[in-house]
A and B are shown apart, each in its own frame.
Chain A
Protein backbone atom coordinates (compact mmCIF):
# COMPACT_ATOMS: atom_id res chain seq x y z
CA UNK A 1 0.00 0.00 0.00
CA UNK A 2 2.82 2.36 -0.69
CA UNK A 3 1.22 4.53 -3.42
CA UNK A 4 -1.59 5.62 -1.07
CA UNK A 5 0.88 7.76 0.78
CA UNK A 6 1.36 10.23 -2.01
CA UNK A 7 -1.95 9.81 -3.81
CA UNK A 8 -3.97 12.08 -1.58
CA UNK A 9 -1.58 15.06 -1.54
CA UNK A 10 -1.10 14.72 -5.29
CA UNK A 11 -4.87 14.79 -5.89
CA UNK A 12 -5.19 17.82 -3.66
CA UNK A 13 -2.44 19.56 -5.55
CA UNK A 14 -4.11 18.81 -8.89
CA UNK A 15 -7.43 20.16 -7.68
CA UNK A 16 -5.75 23.30 -6.40
CA UNK A 17 -3.89 23.80 -9.66
CA UNK A 18 -7.07 23.30 -11.66
CA UNK A 19 -8.87 25.78 -9.45
CA UNK A 20 -6.17 28.38 -9.89
CA UNK A 21 -6.19 27.90 -13.67
CA UNK A 22 -9.96 28.27 -13.93
CA UNK A 23 -9.91 31.32 -11.69
CA UNK A 24 -7.19 32.86 -13.80
CA UNK A 25 -9.10 32.32 -17.03
CA UNK A 26 -12.43 33.70 -15.89
CA UNK A 27 -11.29 36.46 -13.60
CA UNK A 28 -13.55 35.08 -10.90
CA UNK A 29 -17.20 34.10 -11.08
CA UNK A 30 -19.10 34.03 -14.40
CA UNK A 31 -21.00 37.30 -14.80
CA UNK A 32 -24.62 37.06 -13.56
CA UNK A 33 -26.30 38.32 -16.74
CA UNK A 34 -30.05 38.89 -16.80
CA UNK A 35 -30.43 38.79 -20.59
CA UNK A 36 -29.90 35.69 -22.74
CA UNK A 37 -26.30 34.65 -22.12
CA UNK A 38 -24.64 33.73 -25.44
CA UNK A 39 -21.06 33.54 -24.10
CA UNK A 40 -19.28 30.80 -25.98
CA UNK A 41 -22.25 30.23 -28.31
CA UNK A 42 -21.68 32.97 -30.86
CA UNK A 43 -18.44 33.91 -32.65
CA UNK A 44 -16.31 36.93 -31.74
CA UNK A 45 -17.05 40.30 -33.32
CA UNK A 46 -15.50 40.26 -36.78
CA UNK A 47 -16.37 42.16 -39.97
CA UNK A 48 -14.95 44.29 -42.76
CA UNK A 49 -17.18 47.30 -43.35
CA UNK A 50 -17.04 51.09 -43.83
CA UNK A 51 -17.92 53.43 -40.97
CA UNK A 52 -20.05 56.56 -41.31
CA UNK A 53 -17.00 58.75 -41.85
CA UNK A 54 -16.09 56.65 -44.89
CA UNK A 55 -13.22 54.81 -43.19
CA UNK A 56 -12.64 51.06 -43.68
CA UNK A 57 -13.08 49.32 -40.31
CA UNK A 58 -12.95 45.81 -38.89
CA UNK A 59 -14.22 44.23 -35.71
CA UNK A 60 -10.73 44.62 -34.21
CA UNK A 61 -11.11 48.43 -34.35
CA UNK A 62 -13.71 48.18 -31.58
CA UNK A 63 -11.67 46.06 -29.17
CA UNK A 64 -11.57 47.87 -25.84
CA UNK A 65 -15.21 48.95 -26.23
CA UNK A 66 -18.34 47.11 -25.21
CA UNK A 67 -20.28 46.81 -28.47
CA UNK A 68 -24.04 46.79 -29.05
CA UNK A 69 -24.61 45.43 -32.57
CA UNK A 70 -27.94 46.09 -34.28
CA UNK A 71 -29.05 45.61 -37.90
CA UNK A 72 -31.43 48.05 -39.57
CA UNK A 73 -31.76 50.69 -42.28
CA UNK A 74 -32.40 54.41 -42.47
CA UNK A 75 -35.62 54.21 -44.53
CA UNK A 76 -37.15 52.38 -41.58
CA UNK A 77 -39.35 55.01 -39.90
CA UNK A 78 -40.68 53.04 -36.95
CA UNK A 79 -38.84 50.09 -35.38
CA UNK A 80 -35.22 51.10 -36.12
CA UNK A 81 -35.59 54.62 -34.70
CA UNK A 82 -37.48 53.25 -31.70
CA UNK A 83 -34.71 50.74 -30.94
CA UNK A 84 -31.97 53.35 -31.39
CA UNK A 85 -33.89 55.86 -29.26
CA UNK A 86 -34.19 53.23 -26.53
CA UNK A 87 -30.49 52.42 -26.77
CA UNK A 88 -29.84 56.16 -26.39
CA UNK A 89 -31.78 56.13 -23.12
CA UNK A 90 -29.77 53.08 -22.00
CA UNK A 91 -26.52 54.93 -22.80
CA UNK A 92 -27.72 57.97 -20.85
CA UNK A 93 -28.46 55.78 -17.85
CA UNK A 94 -24.90 54.37 -18.05
CA UNK A 95 -23.17 57.74 -17.90
CA UNK A 96 -20.21 58.19 -17.52
CA UNK A 97 -19.51 54.51 -18.28
CA UNK A 98 -21.26 54.85 -21.64
CA UNK A 99 -18.07 56.21 -23.20
CA UNK A 100 -16.75 52.66 -22.93
CA UNK A 101 -19.55 51.41 -25.18
CA UNK A 102 -20.44 51.79 -28.86
CA UNK A 103 -23.70 51.20 -30.69
CA UNK A 104 -22.86 49.70 -34.10
CA UNK A 105 -25.82 50.16 -36.46
CA UNK A 106 -25.23 47.99 -39.52
CA UNK A 107 -27.25 48.84 -42.62
CA UNK A 108 -29.09 45.98 -44.29
CA UNK A 109 -29.94 48.33 -47.17
CA UNK A 110 -26.65 48.70 -49.09
CA UNK A 111 -28.45 50.15 -52.12
CA UNK A 112 -29.69 53.27 -50.34
CA UNK A 113 -27.56 53.77 -47.22
CA UNK A 114 -24.33 55.71 -47.81
CA UNK A 115 -21.84 56.64 -45.05
CA UNK A 116 -23.13 60.24 -45.18
CA UNK A 117 -26.78 59.25 -44.73
CA UNK A 118 -25.78 56.83 -41.96
CA UNK A 119 -23.73 59.54 -40.25
CA UNK A 120 -26.67 61.95 -40.08
CA UNK A 121 -28.99 59.15 -39.02
CA UNK A 122 -27.00 57.64 -36.12
CA UNK A 123 -25.97 61.02 -34.77
CA UNK A 124 -29.61 62.02 -34.49
CA UNK A 125 -29.84 59.31 -31.80
CA UNK A 126 -26.61 59.04 -29.84
CA UNK A 127 -23.07 60.37 -30.13
CA UNK A 128 -21.73 56.92 -29.26
CA UNK A 129 -23.50 55.32 -32.22
CA UNK A 130 -21.58 54.38 -35.38
CA UNK A 131 -23.22 53.61 -38.71
CA UNK A 132 -21.64 50.80 -40.73
CA UNK A 133 -22.18 50.09 -44.40
CA UNK A 134 -20.77 47.54 -46.79
CA UNK A 135 -21.54 45.69 -49.97
CA UNK A 136 -24.35 43.17 -49.82
CA UNK A 137 -21.90 40.27 -49.45
CA UNK A 138 -20.04 41.75 -46.45
CA UNK A 139 -23.26 42.66 -44.66
CA UNK A 140 -24.70 39.23 -45.35
CA UNK A 141 -21.53 37.59 -44.01
CA UNK A 142 -21.81 39.55 -40.75
CA UNK A 143 -25.53 38.88 -40.47
CA UNK A 144 -25.09 35.14 -41.06
CA UNK A 145 -22.24 35.02 -38.56
CA UNK A 146 -24.79 35.84 -35.86
CA UNK A 147 -27.55 33.66 -37.33
CA UNK A 148 -29.42 36.79 -38.21
CA UNK A 149 -31.12 37.56 -41.52
CA UNK A 150 -32.59 40.28 -43.69
CA UNK A 151 -34.83 40.27 -46.72
CA UNK A 152 -35.57 43.04 -49.17
CA UNK A 153 -39.32 43.12 -49.77
CA UNK A 154 -40.80 43.75 -53.25
CA UNK A 155 -40.77 47.40 -54.36
CA UNK A 156 -43.94 49.43 -54.70
CA UNK A 157 -44.83 51.31 -57.90
CA UNK A 158 -42.66 54.31 -57.00
CA UNK A 159 -39.62 52.12 -56.32
CA UNK A 160 -39.85 52.39 -52.53
CA UNK A 161 -39.24 49.18 -50.61
CA UNK A 162 -38.91 47.88 -47.07
CA UNK A 163 -36.32 45.53 -45.62
CA UNK A 164 -37.34 42.92 -43.08
CA UNK A 165 -34.52 42.37 -40.63
CA UNK A 166 -33.49 40.67 -37.43
CA UNK A 167 -34.67 42.64 -34.40
CA UNK A 168 -32.05 41.45 -31.88
CA UNK A 169 -29.28 43.46 -30.24
CA UNK A 170 -26.01 41.52 -29.81
CA UNK A 171 -23.72 42.63 -26.99
CA UNK A 172 -19.94 42.01 -27.09
CA UNK A 173 -17.41 42.56 -24.32
CA UNK A 174 -14.23 44.65 -24.62
CA UNK A 175 -12.38 41.65 -26.04
CA UNK A 176 -14.92 41.26 -28.84
CA UNK A 177 -16.52 38.17 -27.35
CA UNK A 178 -20.28 37.70 -27.78
CA UNK A 179 -21.87 37.88 -24.32
CA UNK A 180 -25.62 38.59 -24.31
CA UNK A 181 -28.53 38.87 -26.71
CA UNK A 182 -31.29 41.42 -26.12
CA UNK A 183 -34.61 41.15 -27.89
CA UNK A 184 -36.50 44.41 -28.46
CA UNK A 185 -38.94 43.39 -25.75
CA UNK A 186 -36.16 42.98 -23.18
CA UNK A 187 -36.46 45.30 -20.23
CA UNK A 188 -34.29 48.38 -20.25
CA UNK A 189 -33.26 47.70 -16.65
CA UNK A 190 -31.86 44.30 -17.63
CA UNK A 191 -29.86 45.78 -20.49
CA UNK A 192 -28.47 48.51 -18.22
CA UNK A 193 -27.66 45.86 -15.60
CA UNK A 194 -25.77 43.60 -18.02
CA UNK A 195 -23.91 46.48 -19.65
CA UNK A 196 -22.82 47.58 -16.18
CA UNK A 197 -21.35 44.13 -15.61
CA UNK A 198 -19.40 44.33 -18.87
CA UNK A 199 -18.31 47.95 -18.44
CA UNK A 200 -17.29 47.58 -14.80
CA UNK A 201 -14.99 44.61 -15.48
CA UNK A 202 -11.63 44.80 -17.18
CA UNK A 203 -10.70 48.45 -17.56
CA UNK A 204 -9.01 47.76 -20.91
CA UNK A 205 -8.35 51.06 -22.71
Chain B
Protein backbone atom coordinates (compact mmCIF):
# COMPACT_ATOMS: atom_id res chain seq x y z
CA UNK B 1 0.00 0.00 0.00
CA UNK B 2 2.59 2.52 -1.05
CA UNK B 3 0.05 5.02 -2.30
CA UNK B 4 1.50 8.43 -3.14
CA UNK B 5 -1.20 10.00 -0.99
CA UNK B 6 0.00 8.20 2.11
CA UNK B 7 3.64 9.09 1.66
CA UNK B 8 2.65 12.65 0.97
CA UNK B 9 0.62 12.66 4.15
CA UNK B 10 3.46 11.11 6.12
CA UNK B 11 6.04 13.56 4.89
CA UNK B 12 3.58 16.35 5.60
CA UNK B 13 3.21 15.16 9.18
CA UNK B 14 6.97 14.88 9.55
CA UNK B 15 7.42 18.39 8.22
CA UNK B 16 4.75 19.70 10.52
CA UNK B 17 6.42 17.95 13.41
CA UNK B 18 9.72 19.54 12.58
CA UNK B 19 8.35 23.02 12.02
CA UNK B 20 6.14 23.20 15.07
CA UNK B 21 7.50 22.94 18.55
CA UNK B 22 5.49 21.03 21.12
CA UNK B 23 3.43 22.65 23.86
CA UNK B 24 6.13 21.79 26.36
CA UNK B 25 8.74 23.64 24.27
CA UNK B 26 6.86 26.90 24.82
CA UNK B 27 6.45 26.59 28.57
CA UNK B 28 8.84 28.06 31.14
CA UNK B 29 8.31 27.10 34.76
CA UNK B 30 9.23 29.01 37.92
CA UNK B 31 8.44 29.06 41.67
CA UNK B 32 7.81 25.33 41.69
CA UNK B 33 7.23 24.10 45.23
CA UNK B 34 5.37 21.52 47.29
CA UNK B 35 3.79 22.13 50.66
CA UNK B 36 4.76 19.05 52.65
CA UNK B 37 2.24 17.83 55.24
CA UNK B 38 2.90 15.25 57.99
CA UNK B 39 2.70 11.53 57.33
CA UNK B 40 1.12 10.37 54.10
CA UNK B 41 -1.37 13.23 53.89
CA UNK B 42 -1.95 14.63 50.40
CA UNK B 43 0.26 17.60 49.52
CA UNK B 44 -0.30 20.58 47.22
CA UNK B 45 2.16 21.50 44.47
CA UNK B 46 2.40 24.97 42.95
CA UNK B 47 4.17 26.40 39.91
CA UNK B 48 4.06 29.39 37.59
CA UNK B 49 3.81 28.56 33.86
CA UNK B 50 4.76 31.02 31.14
CA UNK B 51 3.89 30.39 27.53
CA UNK B 52 6.07 32.12 24.91
CA UNK B 53 4.14 30.59 22.02
CA UNK B 54 1.50 31.95 19.62
CA UNK B 55 -1.06 29.37 20.77
CA UNK B 56 -2.59 28.72 24.17
CA UNK B 57 -1.30 25.63 25.95
CA UNK B 58 -3.38 23.41 28.21
CA UNK B 59 -1.87 21.86 31.31
CA UNK B 60 -3.66 18.54 31.69
CA UNK B 61 -2.00 17.17 34.80
CA UNK B 62 1.27 15.71 35.95
CA UNK B 63 2.94 12.44 36.76
CA UNK B 64 5.47 11.50 39.39
CA UNK B 65 7.60 8.57 40.41
CA UNK B 66 7.27 9.60 44.07
CA UNK B 67 3.48 10.00 44.31
CA UNK B 68 1.10 7.28 43.17
CA UNK B 69 -1.51 9.79 42.11
CA UNK B 70 -1.40 13.42 40.96
CA UNK B 71 -4.55 15.40 40.26
CA UNK B 72 -5.12 18.89 38.91
CA UNK B 73 -7.40 20.64 41.38
CA UNK B 74 -8.96 23.99 41.97
CA UNK B 75 -9.92 25.44 45.34
CA UNK B 76 -12.78 27.87 45.32
CA UNK B 77 -14.85 29.84 47.74
CA UNK B 78 -18.53 30.65 47.47
CA UNK B 79 -20.94 31.95 50.12
CA UNK B 80 -18.42 31.43 52.88
CA UNK B 81 -17.66 27.82 51.95
CA UNK B 82 -14.30 26.46 50.78
CA UNK B 83 -14.41 23.61 48.33
CA UNK B 84 -11.99 21.73 46.15
CA UNK B 85 -12.73 20.15 42.79
CA UNK B 86 -10.93 18.31 40.03
CA UNK B 87 -10.35 20.15 36.78
CA UNK B 88 -9.51 18.72 33.35
CA UNK B 89 -7.12 21.42 32.26
CA UNK B 90 -5.62 24.79 33.05
CA UNK B 91 -5.19 27.13 30.11
CA UNK B 92 -1.92 29.01 29.73
CA UNK B 93 -2.70 31.85 27.28
CA UNK B 94 -0.43 32.62 24.31
CA UNK B 95 2.33 34.98 25.46
CA UNK B 96 0.82 34.81 28.91
CA UNK B 97 1.08 32.94 32.14
CA UNK B 98 -0.95 30.82 34.52
CA UNK B 99 -0.23 30.36 38.18
CA UNK B 100 -0.85 27.35 40.31
CA UNK B 101 -0.88 29.07 43.70
CA UNK B 102 -2.40 28.54 47.16
CA UNK B 103 -6.21 28.90 47.30
CA UNK B 104 -6.45 28.44 43.53
CA UNK B 105 -5.15 25.85 41.10
CA UNK B 106 -2.80 23.21 42.46
CA UNK B 107 -1.60 19.71 41.83
CA UNK B 108 -2.78 17.41 44.58
CA UNK B 109 -0.11 14.79 45.29
CA UNK B 110 -1.29 11.57 46.90
CA UNK B 111 0.26 8.44 48.37
CA UNK B 112 4.01 9.18 48.46
CA UNK B 113 6.04 5.96 48.20
CA UNK B 114 8.70 7.46 50.47
CA UNK B 115 8.56 10.33 52.97
CA UNK B 116 9.17 13.72 51.37
CA UNK B 117 10.94 16.18 53.69
CA UNK B 118 11.26 19.96 53.49
CA UNK B 119 14.36 20.73 51.43
CA UNK B 120 13.94 17.70 49.17
CA UNK B 121 13.59 18.14 45.43
CA UNK B 122 10.81 16.19 43.74
CA UNK B 123 10.50 15.95 39.96
CA UNK B 124 6.98 16.17 38.59
CA UNK B 125 6.38 15.63 34.88
CA UNK B 126 3.88 18.18 33.64
CA UNK B 127 1.57 16.94 30.87
CA UNK B 128 0.19 19.20 28.15
CA UNK B 129 -2.69 19.10 25.69
CA UNK B 130 -0.64 17.80 22.73
CA UNK B 131 0.77 14.97 24.84
CA UNK B 132 4.16 16.60 25.33
CA UNK B 133 5.67 16.59 28.80
CA UNK B 134 8.04 18.74 30.84
CA UNK B 135 10.01 17.38 33.80
CA UNK B 136 10.12 20.08 36.47
CA UNK B 137 11.92 20.12 39.81
CA UNK B 138 9.74 21.16 42.77
CA UNK B 139 11.28 22.16 46.07
CA UNK B 140 9.62 20.64 49.14
CA UNK B 141 8.75 23.33 51.70
CA UNK B 142 7.49 23.07 55.31
CA UNK B 143 3.74 22.91 56.00
CA UNK B 144 3.64 26.51 57.19
CA UNK B 145 5.49 27.94 54.19
CA UNK B 146 3.57 30.48 52.14
CA UNK B 147 5.52 30.37 48.90
CA UNK B 148 8.46 28.82 47.09
CA UNK B 149 10.85 30.69 49.38
CA UNK B 150 12.91 31.86 46.42
CA UNK B 151 12.65 35.53 47.30
CA UNK B 152 10.64 36.47 44.21
CA UNK B 153 9.16 39.97 44.57
CA UNK B 154 5.58 38.78 44.00
CA UNK B 155 5.90 36.38 46.86
CA UNK B 156 7.52 38.63 49.44
CA UNK B 157 6.36 38.69 53.05
CA UNK B 158 3.98 39.42 54.62
CA UNK B 159 2.03 36.37 53.69
CA UNK B 160 -1.29 37.93 52.89
CA UNK B 161 0.20 39.90 50.04
CA UNK B 162 -0.65 36.80 48.04
CA UNK B 163 -3.14 37.22 45.26
CA UNK B 164 -5.46 34.93 47.16
CA UNK B 165 -5.38 37.08 50.26
CA UNK B 166 -5.45 40.68 49.11
CA UNK B 167 -4.56 43.43 51.55
CA UNK B 168 -7.33 45.64 52.73
CA UNK B 169 -5.24 48.75 52.29
Chain A residues within 8 Å of B, Cβ to Cβ: 34, 74-82, 84-86, 88-89, 93, 117, 120-121, 124-126, 148-149, 151, 153, 158, 160, 162, 164-168, 183-190
Interface pair B82/A164, CB less than 8 Å apart:
yes
Interface pair B35/A77, CB less than 8 Å apart:
yes
Confirm or deny: B42 has a beta carbon within 8 angstroms of a beta carbon on chain A. Answer: yes
Distance, CA A55 to CA B166, complexed state (A): 38
Smallest CB–CB gap between B71 and chain A, Å?
A: 9
Q: Could you write out 24 A-B pairs with CB less than 8 Å apart?
A: A34-B168, A77-B41, A78-B102, A78-B103, A78-B106, A78-B108, A81-B37, A81-B44, A81-B144, A85-B144, A86-B159, A117-B38, A120-B38, A121-B143, A125-B143, A153-B83, A160-B110, A167-B77, A167-B81, A184-B82, A185-B164, A187-B168, A188-B158, A188-B160
Chain B residues within 8 Å of A, Cβ to Cβ: 35, 37-39, 41-44, 69, 73, 75, 77, 80-85, 102-103, 106, 108-110, 142-146, 157-160, 164-169
Which chain A positions have C-beta within 8 A of B81?
149, 151, 164-167
Interface pair B144/A166, CB less than 8 Å apart:
no
Distance, CA A153 to CA B86, complexed state (A): 12
Contact of A168 among B75, B80, B168, B169 (CB under 8 A): B80
Interface pair A125/B106, CB less than 8 Å apart:
no
Distance, CA A162 to CA B83, complexed state (A): 8
Which chain B positions have C-beta within 8 A of A183?
80
Interface pair B37/A74, CB less than 8 Å apart:
yes
Which chain B positions have C-beta within 8 A of A158?
69
Chain B residue with the shortest CB-CB distance to A188: B160
What 5 A-B pairs are tightest by C-beta distance, nearest first?
A187-B168, A124-B143, A120-B38, A188-B160, A164-B83
Distance, CA A186 to CA B167, complexed state (A): 7
Count chain A CB atoms within 10 A of each CB in B35, B82, B108, B109 and give the residue with the most: B82
Apart from the given pairs A75-B41, A81-B44, A164-B81, 7 other A-B contacts in the complex at a CB distance below 8 Å: A78-B44, A78-B103, A89-B158, A153-B83, A167-B82, A168-B80, A188-B159
Which chain A positions have C-beta within 8 A of B43?
77
Contact of A86 among B75, B85, B165 (CB under 8 A): B165
